[in-house]
Structures are given as C-alpha cells and as structure tokens.
Amino acid sequence: MRERRNSRSRRLLIGLAVLFFAPLALSFYLYYGHSRFQPSHHVNHGALIEPVRPMPALSLPLLGGAYTAADFLQHKWTLLYASRGDCRDICRQKLYDTRQVRVALDRDMGRVQRVLIADADCCEAQFLQREQADLIVVRAADAAPLLAALPQGAGALYIIDPLGNLMMAYAPDAPAKGLLDDMKRLLKLSHVG
C-alpha cells in the first residue's frame, strides 16, 4: 500500500514537472534551436537599430549662441530630426509632428526632448522661436560626428534613449501615429529617463 502511494506521488511529481518544463523547453528549442523560429509580427513602427549605437558626447552651439551640455542627448528620451536642405514643407511637417507627439504624451512629455540638426540655411530663427519654442537646434556643420552616426542620414527621424543610444529610426514618410505609439510604449516600459 505504501509503495503504491509512493509510486503515485512520484508519477504526480513527474507529471507536474513535465507540465511546467515542457513549454519552457519547447520555447527554447523554437527560439534557439535549428528552426530559428522568430515571430513574424512586431509591434514597433520604426526600424530598430541593432545593435544600438552610442551617440558621441558633444557640446554643440545652439541657434541662439549658447552651447548644449556635452551630455544633452542623455537623461531624456530624444526625438532627433536631421533636416535635409532648407526647412520647407516636409521639414516643417516633421517638426510639427514631433511637437504634437511630445504634447500627446501628456504627463510624460517632460521625459522627452526634441532636437533638430539643421543646415546653415535651414530655418528662419523667428519661425523656430514662434512655432517650435522647446526645440533644441544645432547646426549640421557643428554636428558632423552626430550625423555620421545616423544610419539613414538626413531626412529621417530618430529616437535616442536616455542612456544616449541611438535605437530607432523612422523613414521620412513615416506617419506620426506610429511614432506616438512607439513613444508611449517606450515610456511605459522604461524606468530610465
């Protein structure tokens, strides 16, 4: 009788172990095994930059004559737009989109900053002061090391994490809704910045 009870307890224990470890073993096999199973669906709208690229620490001259801190790309999430040529319709739309995304983040908007890398003839200072008051504007000629680190170059929009790593890029024609969704998700999951 006692052997029967021990045998039953042992089978129950093995059954529970299999019930717990089988899904874990299957998931490891599918992900790391020969099949290299990768889910086809992803939730991000921008292109992930893998591996992330640390951005150089630079103190750059601002549009008004002051200088940024050397670590100005750290401590906050950064929406960086590198303009191409003069700031006409597309550039102004991207600046508007980033401003609206930041405002739409509501109570988290203080965790996000916006940076524009602009050509010398890019934008009218009065337009930027009037329409884009919270924008950090640096000239492309002074930001060559930053531009060299951008995989898609000028015309694209980038997200830099609070540790100063370039982590996501958006094509020039990417809709602002995707950027907003990604920023909400990042801010919700992030404990940094």
Based on the fold, state whether residues 134 and 165 are members of the same structural domain. Answer: yes
Which pLDDT tens digit goes with each residue over 130-179? 778 788 888 888 888 888 888 877 778 999 999 999 999 998 888 999 99
Contact assessment for residue 154 and residue 82, using Cβ atoms and an 8 Å cutoff: yes
Based on the fold, state whether residues 71 and 17 are members of the same structural domain. Answer: no
Residue 31's domain comprises: 1-41
Based on the fold, state whether residues 82 and 19 are members of the same structural domain. Answer: no
SS3 call for 61:
strand
* Domains held by the chain: number: 2
What are the tokens at 58?
């630079």
Based on the fold, state whether residues 84 and 173 are members of the same structural domain. Answer: yes
Which pLDDT tens digit goes with each residue over 106-138? 999 999 999 988 876 666 766 777 778 788 888
Q: Can you list the alpha helix ranges (DSSP code H) found in 57-114?
A: 89-104
Based on the fold, state whether residues 29 and 85 are members of the same structural domain. Answer: no
Based on the fold, state whether residues 125 and 54 are members of the same structural domain. Answer: yes
Based on the fold, state whether residues 31 and 85 are members of the same structural domain. Answer: no
Based on the fold, state whether residues 23 and 88 are members of the same structural domain. Answer: no
Based on the fold, state whether residues 6 and 96 are members of the same structural domain. Answer: no
Q: What Å distances lie between residue 148 and 73, 154, 159, CA to CA?
A: 15, 10, 16
Based on the fold, state whether residues 80 and 10 are members of the same structural domain. Answer: no
Please state whether the predicted TM-score (pTM) of the whole model is above 0.85: no
- Answer left, alpha or beta for residue 185, where phi above 0 means left and psi between -120 and 50 means alpha: alpha
For residues 21-44, average pLDDT:
75
Based on the fold, state whether residues 71 and 5 are members of the same structural domain. Answer: no
Alpha carbons 66 and 193: distance in angstroms, whole number: 24
What are the tokens at 81?
């737009």
Based on the fold, state whether residues 27 and 7 are members of the same structural domain. Answer: yes
Which residue, among 146, 170, 126, 171, has the nearest Cα to 73 in the 3D structure?
146
Which pLDDT tens digit goes with each residue over 2-20? 777 788 888 899 989 889 9
Check whether 76 has a pLDDT greater than 70. yes
